[in-house]
Amino acid sequence: MASAFILSACNTAATVAPAPTWTSSLLPVLPSATATAVPLATETTMSTVASTATVAATATPTVPPVAKVIPNVNAYCRRGPGANYDPVTSLVSGTAYNVIGRNSSNTWWLVQLWGGAVTCWTGAPGTNQLGPVEQAPIVLAQPVLASPAMFMYSYACNTGTNTKGLNVTLNWESVAGATGYHLSRNGISLAELGPTAGTYIDYNAPLKVDLVYELEARNAVGSTAPVFVTVMACD
């Protein structure tokens, strides 16, 4: 009986302990990978890229318009912006000439001829303008001289039997920088004079007609505005 009791007591004490239970709060948490969608190149996308590249490669650069003038009639092209400047050549009606300059009042244009070998000035009236002619740079030309001052005369009538005619003495103040003087009578060239001239005597000028004398000073680019004196007819 005693041995049976002891065995029973041993069986009771040897109860098997339950296995430990792990909770989720004790387990390590690993980061989850997030998948990012990568768009696939479609046929339309590749076509658009190729088309854009082709346009960029074949685009023509913009060329700024060239300023030109076209004379309506054949016209002188001069050494400066004014009618007192000497002619260089003539421009042909209906021909377009490149403009490379202008005067400050936009009334004369500096143009190129023969591939730029010659430049000269043409007046704005009587020309058609093409392109940005008023944006051409202002160009200063060598000025013509001031007109001679104090243009005076004296005369003597010769109506005798042996000598008939009119002797007219002309005087003027010389112009600084002048290379010479041109003298006309009644619209006809009378004399070309040197730079130091200040006097001229017109011997045996016609009688019975008014005489109009015209004097211009000259330099390398043209003539001054003329000055006039009128000698009344001598019988």
Domains, the chain, ordered by start: 68-135 (2.30.30.40), 149-231 (2.60.40.10)
Q: Where are the beta strands (DSSP E) in the chain?
A: 68-71, 75-78, 87-91, 97-102, 108-113, 118-123, 127-130, 149-159, 164-173, 180-185, 188-193, 199-205, 211-218, 227-231
pLDDT above 70 for 16: no
Taking residues 151-169, report their average pLDDT. Answer: 83
Structure confidence at residue 158 (pLDDT): 80
pLDDT above 50 for 12: no
pLDDT tier, 204 (very low <50, low <70, confident <90, very high otherwise): confident
pLDDT above 90 for 46: no
